[in-house]
Structure 1
Amino acid sequence: MYSVNSVKELQDLNPFIVVGCGGGGEKFSNLEGIEAVGFIDDDVNKQGTQFCGQTVSGSLEECLSGTSANSLVIMLPIGAEGSAIKYAVQAIDAGLNVITSFRSLSIEDNISLKKFADSKNLIIKEIGPRLDVVEKIAGIAPEKSCEVLPKISYEPKAPVIFVGGTSQECGKRTTSKKLGIAATQRGLTSAVISTDEMGLEEPTEFNFRAGSLSAMDVPAAVLSAIKYVEETKKPDIIFIEGQSSLTEKGNPHPRGLSAAILIGAAPDAVIIGHRPNHPYREPRGIEEEIRAIEAVEPTKVVGISINLKNAELDLDAEYFEHKYNLPVEDVYNNGASKLLDAIFDYLGE
C-alpha cells in the first residue's frame, strides 16, 4: 500500500532533495531518470563538500533556498529514525512529497505522517524490502523487515579468536568453552561469546541465537557483543563461537550465517573443529574450510580441534597433526591448552 513498485513512480516526483550522503543516497541519485538537485547530511564533516555533483547542505531550509525540488527522499541508516521523522515533517510542511526507505522510516509504523501528507495532498511512500515478492516466490514471508540493528564500528582491545568448523555439530561450542577454561587456568581474564541458544554452560559470558537475526544484523550483533564484553569485563582474550560451516555440503542455508559471524568477529586467529565420519552431516573437509575462512576474512587458522566421537580406531590427533601440519587437540579428552599455545605462538605473545 505504501511501497514504491517501480522507478517510474519516482520519476514522476522529480526533482529530489536527498537526505543522507552515503551509499543509499548515491544509489538513489543514480537511478534511471532521477533528478537530484540537492543533498543534506547531519554530519558536519560532509557539509560544504561535493557529493554526486552537488554541495552538501546541513538543513532542509538551506537546501531549499538554492533549489526547486518537488520531493524529498530520506536515505538514512537504521537507528536514525529520529532524524528521518524530523526531515519528513519538515518536507511535508514545506509542500514536498516524501520518499523514505524501510531502513530509515517505516510508514506503516508512522501512520500519522501519512495522514499529514494526505492533508496537504502530497505523496508519501517508502522503498520497501519487497517482502510481497518473497511471499510470492517462497509462499511465506515475515510481516516486516528483520533488519533492525544499527551498524557499528569498533576496534577490540583484546585479541579475538573465532572458533569455526567443518560442519554443524562438530565441537565448536565445546572448543570455545575449553579455550575459555584453559585461558582462565593461566590467570587470564577470558570472555566466551556463544552465538547459539544452547550456549548455556560456563565459562560462556552470554549467548544469543545469531540465526534468529537478519544476515545484515549478525555482524553488528557480534561486534556489539565484543564491545559490550570489553566494556563490562575488560578481558585479555575473547573467544567467539561460530555456527555451521562455510563449506558443508547438503545443507547450504546456514553457511551464510557462518560467514556473517566470522565477518563480525574479524578475528585475529581461528581454531576450526572437525568431526571425522560425521553421522548426519556432510563436511567437505579441513583443507576446504581453512581456504574458505582465510578467503572470507584476513585472518589465520592456527589450530584444529578434533572430535573423535565417530572416528575410526586408527585416527587420533597425531594423525591429523601430521596430515595438516597444524597443532591438533582432542579437546573432549585433553582440554584446549595446546590450542591456546598455538594461538599465543601465532599472536607472538
Structure 2
Amino acid sequence: MYFITSLKEIQDLNPFVIIGCGGGGEKFSNFEGVEAVGFIDDDIEKQGQEFCNNVISRDLTEVLQKTNAKSVAIMLPIGAEGTALKYAVEAIDNGKNVVTSFRSLPISQNESIIKFADAKGVILKEISPRLDVIRKIFGTAPPMCTEILPKLDYKPKTPIVFVGGTSQECGKRTTTRLLGKAALERGLNAVVISTDEMGFEQPVDMNFRAGSLSVMDVASAVIGSIKYMEEQKNPDIIFIEGQSSLTERGNPHPRGLSASILIGATPNATIVCHRPNHPYREPRGIEFEVKAIEALEPTKVVGLSLNLRNVSDKNELNNYESKYGLPAVDVKNGGASRLLDVIIDYIGDL
C-alpha cells in the first residue's frame, strides 16, 4: 500500500526538496514533471555547489521554510538508512510528504514512522524494488532487497594478488592457498582471503561465501576484508581467491560474481588458472579470460596456474608457456614458488 506505482503519484506530490546529491537524487529530479525546489546533502564539500539547477544546502528545515515544497524525496544509498530515517522524521515533523527509496529498509517494517506520518496527516511512499515482477516470473523472490552493505571507497596499502580462472573447478582455491603458503615460507607476512565457504584448508586468514551475497554487495565485502586484514595483520602481500570465470560458456550465472570479486580486489597482479580437457565445464580459454580481466580492472595477468588432472602429457606446461608468453606452472608440484617469484618481480617493478 505504500509503493509508488506510477509517475503521476510522484507528480501529484510536487514540489520536492530532494535529499542526496548523487545518482539517486539526479535520477529523481529528472523524472518527467518533477519539480525540485531544493537539494540537501551531508557532504560538506558538496554544500554550496550547484546541482540540477539548485544550490545544495545542509539544513532541511531551513530549506522547507524558504520554499513551497510539499514533499521530501530521500534518495540515499544503501548503508545510509539511519540518515534516511532521520530526514524522514524531520520532513514529517514539518508536515511534508515523504517519498523514499530505502531498499533494504522498507516502510512496512517501520511501524513507528507509519504512525507518525498518519498522525501528521502526510503521505508516506516508497519506490519499490519491484520484486513482485521477479515473483511473477519465477514464482519466488526475496522478501526484500538483498543489497545491504555500505559502498566502500578504500585504496589498499598492501600489494594485492587476485587468482582468477577460465572456469569453475579449475584450481583457484588451491593456487591461492599454495601461493600464500609459499609466501609464508619465504618469511613474508602473507594474508589469504578465500571467497568460498569451502576455504578451510590452511593457510587461510578469512573465508566467506561471496555467492551468498547480492552481487551489488560482493565488491564491498572484498574491499572490507582487505581493509580489515590490513588493520589486523599489517601484511606484506594479500592473495584473494576468485570464483568462477568472466568468460566461461554454459553457465553464465556466476560470471557477475567473478567480476564483483575482481573489482573489489583491485589487484596489482593476477594469476589465471586453467584446467585443460575439463570434464564438465566449458571454458572459453586463457586468451579470452586474460583479455576480460585486464579490460575490467587495471591489473596485469603475470602467470598461469594449470590444473593437470586431466592431462597425460606433462610437457603441456611448456606448450602453454610458449603459446601465451606467460610463466605456466603446476602449483601442486612445486610451481607456487616460481609463480611467487614472478609476482614479486612484477610488484617490485610497479
TM-score by length of 1: 0.97
Determine whether 1:96 maps to 2:90. no
Shift of 1:315: 4.6
- Judge which range, 315-324 or 204-213, deviates more: 315-324
Query: Could you list the runs of 5+ residues in structure 1 that have no partner in the other structure?
Result: none
The one-letter amino acid paired with 1:272 is: V
Number of positions where the alignment pairs a residue of Structure 1 with one of Structure 2: 349
CA distance in 2, matches of 1:86, 1:222: 29
CA distance in 2, matches of 1:41, 1:325: 51
Match of 1:78 in 2: 78
The one-letter amino acid paired with 2:130 is: R
1:20-99 equivalences in 2 (<5 Å): 20-99=20-99
Q: Is the 8 A contact 1:170 1:273 kept in 2?
A: yes
CA distance in 1, matches of 2:98, 2:176: 49
- Change over 3 Å in CA distance of 1:309–1:39 after alignment to 2: same
- Judge which range, 305-314 or 209-218, deviates more: 305-314
Deviations 1:188-227 (A, max 9, x none): 0000000011011111101000001011100000000000
CA distance in 2, matches of 1:271, 1:256: 19
Shift of 1:44: 1.7
The one-letter amino acid paired with 2:9 is: E
Q: What secondary structure sits across from 2:157 in the alignment?
A: coil
1:1-349 equivalences in 2 (<5 Å): 1-103=1-103, 105-313=105-313, 315-348=315-348
Q: Is the 8 A contact 1:215 1:257 kept in 2?
A: yes
Q: Is the 8 A contact 2:98 2:125 kept in 1?
A: yes
The one-letter amino acid paired with 1:5 is: T
- Judge which range, 2-11 or 283-292, deviates more: 2-11
Identity among equivalent positions (%) equals 66
Q: What secondary structure sits across from 1:204 in the alignment?
A: coil
CA distance in 1, matches of 2:155, 2:81: 26
TM-score by length of 2: 0.97
Shift of 1:103: 3.7
CA distance in 2, matches of 1:254, 1:223: 19
Shift of 1:313: 2.5
Shift of 1:312: 3.6
CA distance in 2, matches of 1:104, 1:282: 36
Q: Is the 8 A contact 1:77 1:104 kept in 2?
A: no
Q: What secondary structure sits across from 1:72 in the alignment?
A: strand
CA distance in 2, matches of 1:271, 1:202: 20
Query: Could you list the runs of 5+ residues in structure 2 that have no partner in the other structure?
Result: none
RMSD between superposed Cα atoms in Å: 1.2
Shift of 1:46: 1.5
CA distance in 2, matches of 1:300, 1:188: 22
Shift of 1:66: 2.0
Shift of 1:105: 4.5
Q: Is the 8 A contact 1:181 1:203 kept in 2?
A: yes
Give every structure 1 segment of 4 or more consecutive aligned residues whose post-TM-superposition deviation is greater than 4 Å. none
Deviations 1:45-77 (A, max 9, x none): 211211111111111122113210010011112
CA distance in 1, matches of 2:174, 2:335: 10
CA distance in 2, matches of 1:104, 1:278: 40
Q: What secondary structure sits across from 1:323 in the alignment?
A: helix
Q: Is the 8 A contact 1:196 1:209 kept in 2?
A: yes
CA distance in 2, matches of 1:321, 1:222: 31
- Judge which range, 123-132 or 76-85, deviates more: 76-85
- Change over 3 Å in CA distance of 1:104–1:87 after alignment to 2: farther
The one-letter amino acid paired with 1:13 is: L
Deviations 1:235-283 (A, max 9, x none): 1000000000001010000001000000010110100100000111000
- Change over 3 Å in CA distance of 1:76–1:240 after alignment to 2: same
Shift of 1:127: 1.1
Q: Is the 8 A contact 1:200 1:206 kept in 2?
A: no
CA distance in 1, matches of 2:287, 2:312: 20
Shift of 1:182: 0.8
Q: What secondary structure sits across from 1:65 in the alignment?
A: helix
The one-letter amino acid paired with 1:294 is: E
Shift of 1:314: 5.5
Shift of 1:140: 1.2
Q: Is the 8 A contact 1:160 1:266 kept in 2?
A: yes
The one-letter amino acid paired with 2:98 is: V
Q: Is the 8 A contact 1:84 1:104 kept in 2?
A: no
Q: What secondary structure sits across from 1:61 in the alignment?
A: helix
Shift of 1:89: 1.1
CA distance in 2, matches of 1:259, 1:80: 25
Q: What secondary structure sits across from 1:188 in the alignment?
A: coil
The one-letter amino acid paired with 1:81 is: E
